């Protein structure tokens, strides 16, 4: 087994992609009562509809905290020794 210390290596940060990985997860929180919209993968529309309906049922509830989760992955960039190791492992 060979051990090395890599003093400088380039990495790339980008969206986590792959089968079953959502592009984003959307939700919202009513600032008046704390009610929370069910989370929605890849589309904000169900959360927007929930907020509009919630305000329709509760006319004084007009402010929401929008929550959008995305996921990142760091991968070895060209010239990074880990790039070759990753290619061998897959």
Residue 78 lies in a domain: yes
Residue 52 or residue 11, greater confidence? 52
Q: Which value, in Å, is the radius of gyration of the alpha carbons in the chain? A: 21
Residue 6 lies in a domain: no
Taking alpha carbons only, the member of 56, 68, 59 closest to residue 29 is 68
Backbone dihedral angles phi then psi of residue 74, each to the nearest 5 degrees: -100, 130
Overall domain count for the chain: 1
Confirm whether 5 is domain-assigned.
Answer: no
Contact of 22 with 41, CB cutoff 8 Å: yes
pLDDT range class, residue 89, cuts 50, 70, 90: low
User: Is 7 inside any structural domain?
Assistant: no
How far apart are the C-alpha atoms of 13 and 23, rounded to whole Å? 15
Question: Residue 9 falls within a domain, yes or no?
Answer: no
- Listed range (13-17, 39-43, 47-51) with the worst mean pLDDT: 13-17
**This prediction's pTM:** 0.71
Is 44:26 a contact under the CB 8 Å cutoff? yes
């Amino acid at each position: 087994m060979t051990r090395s210390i890599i003093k400088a290596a380039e990495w790339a940060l980008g969206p986590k992609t792959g089968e079953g990985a959502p592009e984003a997860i959307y939700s919202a929180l009513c600032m008046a009562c704390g009610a929370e919209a069910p989370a929605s993968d890849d589309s904000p529309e169900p959360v927007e509809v929930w907020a509009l309906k919630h305000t329709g049922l509760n006319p004084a509830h007009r402010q929401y905290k929008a929550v959008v989760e995305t996921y990142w992955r760091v991968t070895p960039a060209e010239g990074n020794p880990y790039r070759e190791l990753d290619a061998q492992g897959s």
